[in-house]
Chains A and B, each alone.
Chain A
Amino acid sequence: MLAKRIIPCLDVRDGKVVKGINFVGIKEVGDPVECAEEYNKQGADEICFLDITATHEGRKTMVDVVRRTAQRVFVPLTVGGGISSVDDFRELLRSGADKVSVNSAAVRNPNLIKEAAEIFGSQCVVVAIDAKKKGDSWTVVVNGGRIDMNIDAIEWAKKAEELGAGEILLTSMDTDGMKTGFDIELLNAVCSVVKIPVIASGGCGTLEHFSEVFKKTEASAALAASLFHYKELTVEQVKEHLRENDIPVRITL
């Protein structure tokens, strides 16, 4: 049986790990390669870099961060943030990423998902969806939640799968940074319409939030950033808690 995955996420700007709350109020918290190594030691099943750099120079720095991490960390690496073309995919995969996540560029040009899946395989195409509650449903937002695309998030997840996405990274903009738990309702709505793995993101603050998300939803993985950054919890503690709750996890020796 597959283990449920715990994925620490590192927000990187100009080669430094940064962390903000609700996508605003950003501060630097360290070196991405060192952070990735530390998470690897703790038993992370995958490491996610989210590049929030705006400049071209910063992008090159990110490629270098991926290359250096891949020399020292031997679990899958996912890189996202600002990916807008097949060439971006190629550059990151060549530098050592195993998966690339696309967000706003895929919303604006859904064909990017199809192209990337055909060239590199679905297994490396992760579609990141930032969703926000709107009436009885959820809408897709981009640019850190600042722009409402007026697209139904559940429909978008379905379409992403049809186009060849290998995984959905689903962030709830309503719970992100709130530490009140993952957005169970949103996760269930998406998991019920797609077969591909869904990664739960946004809102965890306690150990119980992790067991809750795996007991109440079909999510394959849970992603967290600040919780691990600020050492409020370690990946090891989360996995130990999940194991005690009979949720299959990879325990490292």
Chain B
Amino acid sequence: MTVIIDYGAGNLFSIRNALDYLGVENKISRDKKDLIDADRLILPGVGAFPDAMRMLDEADLTQTIREQAKIKPLMGICLGMQMLFDKSYEFGETTGLGLIPGTVELMHPKGNLVIPHIGWNALEINKECPLLSKAEEGQYVYFVHSFGAVTHSDNVGAYCDYGMKVPGLVFSGNVYGCQFHPEKSGDTGLKILRRFASVK
């Protein structure tokens, strides 16, 4: 069972639609017991970092997620991916889940590029990762964000180019994060979700 963590921030239904379409058994829940019983977890997120961490704390799930991430695969999506890092500088400084080393900072692309980074951008594979195959090199995925991860390239499966190298897919052990929305990224996104559904 894949549990989509419901803590009040995120487009849960799009993720559920994609998992249903793929035939991946799933449940939307904020019940600690469900998180503990799950085979794998998805942490969605839309909005601002401090609000999302506060909501996770209020749902009393922060510690549970940290513990469960040691023993089962976890995927953060968009803001959920940013929450996997040590801290974010969006509206001050906020501590994250600390599951992947790095920080979350406002992007400063070169040239005349606008923030937020919204649209389809191409994956540039950086490091072998269970969620990616060589076929994903150059494939487009859908981004909507203004802040991005700053992390060692050892933690980056794929970057994309937006006047700077933007970490698109990050991972450390069994913790994975997509800055893009795999549930809105056509077949490429569905493939990545399907692979996550089978990683151990």
Contacts and interface: CB of A to CB of B under 8 A. Distances in A.
Interface of A: 1-3, 5, 40, 45, 70-72, 74-76, 94, 96, 98, 121-123, 166, 195-197, 220, 250, 252-253
B184 A2 contact: no
Interface of B: 11, 13-14, 17-18, 20-21, 46-47, 114, 116-122, 135, 139-140, 142, 144, 161-162, 183-187, 189-190
A68 to B, nearest CB: 10
Nearest to B140: A250
A195 B183 CA distance: 27
A253 B13 contact: no
16 contacts: A2-B121, A3-B121, A3-B122, A5-B120, A45-B120, A70-B17, A74-B18, A74-B184, A75-B185, A76-B142, A96-B13, A121-B46, A123-B116, A166-B118, A195-B114, A220-B119
A197 B187 contact: no
Contacts of B144: 123
B interface SS class: mixed
A2 B21 contact: no
Contact of A5 (B117, B119, B122, B189): B119
B165 to A, nearest CB: 13
A172 to B, nearest CB: 23
B188 to A, nearest CB: 8
B92 to A, nearest CB: 19
B46 A196 contact: no
A72 B184 contact: no
B100 to A, nearest CB: 24
Given A70-B13, A70-B14, A75-B186, 13 more contacts: A1-B121, A1-B122, A1-B161, A2-B120, A3-B122, A5-B119, A5-B120, A74-B183, A75-B184, A96-B14, A98-B14, A166-B116, A250-B140
Given A98-B184, A252-B186, A71 B114 contact: no
A71 B17 contact: yes
Interface centre among A2, A98, A121 (most CB of B within 10 A): A2
Contact of A74 (B46, B47, B119, B189): B189
A74 B20 CA distance: 12
Contacts of A70: 13-14, 17
A3 B139 CA distance: 11
A149 B161 CA distance: 42
Nearest to B20: A71
A190 to B, nearest CB: 15
Contacts of B20: 71
A89 to B, nearest CB: 14
B120 to A, nearest CB: 4
Contact of B186 (A71, A72, A74): A74
A220 B113 CA distance: 12
Contact of B184 (A71, A76, A196, A220): A76
Contacts of B122: 1, 3
Contacts of A2: 117, 119-121, 162
A250 B121 CA distance: 8
A252 B187 contact: yes
Contacts of A1: 121-122, 161-162
Nearest to A94: B13
Contact of B21 (A74, A96, A98, A195): A74
